[in-house]
Structure 1
Amino acid sequence: MLVTLKDKTFEIYLKESEIKDRLKTIGQQISIDFKGQDLLVLGVLNGSFIVMADLCREIKGVSVQTTFLKISSYSGTESTGIVKEVIGLPKDLQDKNILIVEDIVDTGVSMNYLLHRLENEKPKSISIATLLYKPEAFRFNYQLHYVGFEIPNKFVVGYGLDYDGLGRELPEIYQLK
């Protein structure tokens, strides 16, 4: 199945059922890792909102709080390499277990920025969950604790990911054709 957004055509890459199954598995692991603890799930807007909602529903036996921040490093289909903080971090993160949820980690520039910002707040722990990870594009050495799928370094949309604001609502993930 093909989808056209503006001037680009995308083909199906990951089916909705594959995504949901993988998020269930990740949720089960998070439930084990944080059993009986408090967890602040920090979604990185805009892309993470669907992933975060579905993942949170799969976490059991953990006291979950949610919040969001918004940072940006993309223009069109390319990373600019410059991170802008649009909506900042919530207050009082000291001594909290923080789970950052991302839709995708590719170059890692945005996450690297966020990790440095969070470390200054002195949380108890910081973990990263991402639906998609592009190892070919990744430029850092920090750990991604929960990874849904490793994918090639191609542009993708759907399931929260967009192309110039379009395609976030697609229930599957599509790759640029």
Structure 2
Amino acid sequence: MNLIIKDKELQLYYSKEQLKNMVGKTANQISNDYQDKHPIFIGVLNGAFMFMSDLIRAIDPQLKFQIDFIKLSSYEGSKSTGIVKALSGLKNDIKGRNVIVVEDIIETGLTITAVIEEMKKLEPATIKLCACFLKTGKQKINIKPDYLCTEIEDKFIIGYGLDWDEFGRGLDQLYYIQ
């Protein structure tokens, strides 16, 4: 079965099983590192919703944590505008908390750098970055996640929360545009 979105054929990049295994390994690392630290996971919407959902469910159930979300945007269509627009903020106070920012993909580094700089102003105890994907060769700001599922090639990917003009976010596997 061929998947077509916006007249483009999609090719499978990672299957459901591969994604589950990558996310599980990352969740185990976090679970081990955050015993007795009561972190707050902050997902960057819209893209991180599927990854964060799977990550949270794979975290050790004994780990006491909270979740929250922040919504930002720097894309129009398939291109980054390079300008990060904050659309909505946190519901929880993070002062003195151990924060884990959960991002779907890091490409240029502009969006996540802006998120982290804004979070620092709220005086958390720690801020760690967890990303599902790190796209090689696209970074304008060199930022390395503390927790990373995998690096990917410089292809336009879609699915598993990532979109093309808001299409394809709900696909449960990761694809690239041919």
Query: For this structure pair, what is the TM-score category when the shorter chain's length is used for normalisation?
Result: over 0.9
Please tell me the root mean square deviation across aligned C-alpha atoms, in Å. 1.1
Q: What is the correspondence of 1:1-177 to structure 2 with a 5 Å cutoff?
A: 2-60=2-60, 61-177=62-178
In the TM superposition, what is the alpha-carbon distance from 1:33 to its structure 2 partner?
Answer: 0.6
Q: 2:88 and 2:9 mapped to 1: Cα distance?
A: 31
- Give the unaligned 5+ runs of structure 2: none
Q: 2:123 and 2:25 mapped to 1: Cα distance?
A: 29
Secondary structure of 2:43's counterpart equals strand
TM-score (structure 2 length as normaliser): 0.95
Q: 1:143 and 1:159 mapped to 2: Cα distance?
A: 21
Identity of aligned residues (%): 36
Range 58-67 or range 15-24, more displaced: 58-67
Q: Is the 2:109–2:142 contact (alpha carbons within 8 Å) kept by the matching residues of 1?
A: no
Q: 1:11 and 1:21 mapped to 2: Cα distance?
A: 20
Q: 1:153 and 1:142 mapped to 2: Cα distance?
A: 16
- Give the unaligned 5+ runs of structure 1: none
CA displacement 1:1-32 (0-9 Å, x = unmatched): 53211132211011110000011110000001
Q: Is the 1:133–1:150 contact (alpha carbons within 8 Å) kept by the matching residues of 2?
A: yes
In the TM superposition, what is the alpha-carbon distance from 1:91 to its structure 2 partner?
Answer: 4.4
Secondary structure of 2:29's counterpart equals helix
Secondary structure of 1:107's counterpart equals coil
Q: 2:90 and 2:140 mapped to 1: Cα distance?
A: 24
TM-score (structure 1 length as normaliser): 0.96
**Alignment length (residue pairs):** 177
Secondary structure of 1:73's counterpart equals strand
Secondary structure of 1:137's counterpart equals coil
In the TM superposition, what is the alpha-carbon distance from 1:135 to its structure 2 partner?
Answer: 2.3
CA displacement 1:72-127 (0-9 Å, x = unmatched): 00011110000001112334211101111111111111001011101111101111
Q: Is the 2:77–2:165 contact (alpha carbons within 8 Å) kept by the matching residues of 1?
A: yes
Q: Is the 1:39–1:63 contact (alpha carbons within 8 Å) kept by the matching residues of 2?
A: yes
Q: 2:72 and 2:64 mapped to 1: Cα distance?
A: 26
In the TM superposition, what is the alpha-carbon distance from 1:143 to its structure 2 partner?
Answer: 3.0
Q: 1:3 and 1:134 mapped to 2: Cα distance?
A: 23
